[in-house]
Amino acid sequence: MPLVYEELRRLARSYLARERAGHTLQATALVHEAYLRLADETQLTWKDRAHFYGVAARLMRRILVDHARAHNAAKRGGLRQKLTLEEARELPTKSNVDLVELNGALESFAHDYPRKSEVVELKFFGGLDAKEISEVLQISEKTVLRDWNFAKLWLCRELNEQHAA
């Protein structure tokens, strides 16, 4: 979705510019801003909006993962390097999570836990908060948090196992 992509990239630049200038801006706002700019929210009913966020998150996931894939390819000359054990032990942490790997792990996770994987998609890729997710998925906020915590454990273990292997 290059249109979205372009918009996102433009917003990312201004986001960083604002941040560097000392204005803090919630990261999730970026995602919201990008989408609200592309779809006039006021024209959507709530049901549409829930659906819309779902689609938005999925789209976002695709864009970001595609981007990461292209970036990885460029950086590594198209070859996947094996990480050293030390590096693997460091992974995964906040800043250097590999979106391509995470995406793969999330796909496996979705096989056993479809709803929980949606929660991850909406939160991590879509930037929604628990309340919003609860509305999109029609589940309680508490359930959202439980799903999220479980998913993190599962995904963390999965990525760890991959790196160890």
Partner 1 sequence: MQPDRAERVAEIVERALEVDVGERGPLLVDLCGSDRELFVEVASLLQFQEKARDFIEAPAVETVAELLADERTGLQSGDNLDGYKIVSLLGEGGMGEVYLADDTLLGRKVAIKLLKYGLGTTNLVRRFHEEERILAGLTHPNIAQLYGGAITVNGLPYFVMEYVDGKRLDEYCRENQLPIRERLELFRKICAAVSYAHKHLIIHRDIKPANIRVTPDGEPKLLDFGIARLLDPQTSTIAEATMTFAAVMTPEYASPEQVRGEAMTTASDVYSLGVLLYELLTGQKPYKIANRSPTAVTQAITTHEPTRPSTAVRENQSSEIRSELLRGDIDNIVLKALRKEPERRYTSVSQFSDDIRRHLEGHPVIARKDTFNYRASKFIRRNKIGVAAAAVIFLTLIGGMVATGWEAHRANRRFNDVRRLANSLMFEIHDSVKDLQGSTPTRRLIVSRALEYLDSLAHDAGNNIALQRELATAYEKIGDIQGNPYSANLGDTNGALASHRKALAIREKLSTRRTSTELQMELGRSYRALGDILEQKGEIAETVRDYRQSLSIFEKLVAAQPADFSVQDEFARAYEVLGDGLGRMANNSTERSEAYRKSLSIRQDLLAQKSSDGKLRRSVALTFLKVGATLEAKNPEAVGNIKRGIEMLEGLSQEDPNNERARREVGYAYYQLGNTLLQKGDFSAALDARRKAFAIRQEIAAEDPKNVQAQFDLAVAYGDLAEALSATGDNESALERARQSLSMMQALAKNDPSNAVYQRNVGLCYERLAEIRARLANDDKHSVAQRVSDWTEARNWYRRGAELFSALRDQGTLMPIDSDRPQKFSARVRECDNAIAALK
- Residue 99, interface with partner 1 (CB under 8 A)? yes
Handedness of CA 90, 92, 93, 99 (dihedral sign): positive
Interface with partner 1 (CB under 8 A), residue from 50, 58, 66, 104? 66
- Tell me which residue of 120, 4, 91, 7 sits closest to 56, measured CA to CA: 4
- Residue 21, interface with partner 1 (CB under 8 A)? no
Between 64 and 137, CB nearer to partner 1: 64
Q: How far is the CB of 82 from partner 1 (least distance, A)?
A: 18
What DSSP letter does each residue of 45-105 carry, written as one string? Answer: -HHHHHHHHHHHHHHHHHHHHHHHHHHHHHHTTT-PPPPPHHHHHH-S-STT--HHHHHHH
- Tell me which residue of 61, 8, 16 sits closest to 37, measured CA to CA: 8
Between 66 and 135, CB nearer to partner 1: 66
Interface with partner 1 (CB under 8 A), residue from 49, 53, 54, 61? 61
Tell me which long-range contacts 76-84 makes (C-beta under 8 A, separation of at least 24). Answer: 83/163
- Residue 83, interface with partner 1 (CB under 8 A)? no
Q: Which residues of this protein are in contact with partner 1, per CB under 8 A?
A: 1-6, 8-9, 12-13, 15-16, 27-28, 30-31, 38-40, 43, 60-61, 64, 66-71, 73-74, 77-78, 92-95, 97, 99, 102, 112-113, 116, 120, 123-125, 127, 146, 149-150, 152-157, 160
